[in-house]
Amino acid sequence: MEEDLREKAHAMYEKFVEILNSKLKVLRMELTHKRNADCLIKYRDKLVAYAEFEWAARWKEYEFPYPNTVHFPSAKAKYAEKDLPVFMITFNKDMTSALIVDAKTMIESRVVPVGRAVSPTGKMATYGERFIDVELNKVVFGVDKIENYILEKLSLKR
């Protein structure tokens, strides 16, 4: 069962990378099996950052369903301490929209308990699990805006 869930998540992440690479002009994303994150981000064939993916099953439309914040599992805080910057990218249910925030900005936010949440593998979070509560004014929305966000955060040229 656990292996089946991993395969489903991997297939979803492959789709995320395909969508992102179709929009990127300078950067390239590659899935990785390393523990650093879900994806490598390359600039002119050089590894410059990582991406960690999330899938928001309750975010069904282009419009984000929550008025003030987006949640990331508190375990994701570890990505702020990697050797390279990590970008948290969340796709909506039908993969037509996404949001991005860098891990260092993410961990500056408060941690809160949340009643229920669904992971990409369909696993339901338990009541009281802790999440990082990032204000929406700190994230950027739109698949087409992800590359510019990353380039700006890394001070890279187009």
Predicted confidence at residue 116, as pLDDT, reads: 59
Per-residue DSSP letters for 45-99? TEEEEEEEEEEETT--SSS-S-SSEEEEEGGGGGGGGSSS-EEEEEEETTSS-EE
Residues 3-23 pLDDT 10s: 666 788 888 999 999 999 999
Q: Which helix (H) or strand (E) holds 42?
A: strand 39-43
| Confidence label for 137 from pLDDT (cuts 50, 70 and 90) | very high
As a whole number of angstroms, the distance between CA 58 and CA 47 comes to: 32
pLDDT score, position 124: 55
The residue that leads in pLDDT, 97 or 116, is: 97
Q: What is the pLDDT of residue 115?
A: 65
For the chain, what is the mean pLDDT?
A: 87
> pLDDT over 90 for what percent of the chain?
58
Q: What is the mean pLDDT of residues 137-149?
A: 96
Per-residue confidence (pLDDT) for residue 33, from 0 to 100: 74
Task: Report the pLDDT value the prediction gives residue 2, as an integer from 0 to 100.
Answer: 58
Helix, strand or coil for residue 15? helix
Burial of residue 18 (CB within 10 Å: 0-12, 13-18, 19+) is exposed
For the cut 80, the answer to whether the pLDDT of residue 78 exceeds it is: yes
Q: What is the mean pLDDT of residues 131-135?
A: 93
Confidence of residue 45 (pLDDT cuts 50, 70, 90): very high
In this structure, what DSSP letter does residue 10 have?
Answer: H
Q: Span 81-96, mean pLDDT?
A: 93
Domains in the chain: boundaries: 2-153
- Kindly give the interhelix angle for 2-23 and 146-153, rounded to the nearest 10 degrees: 90
Residue scoring higher pLDDT (54 or 28): 28
pLDDT given at position 77: 92
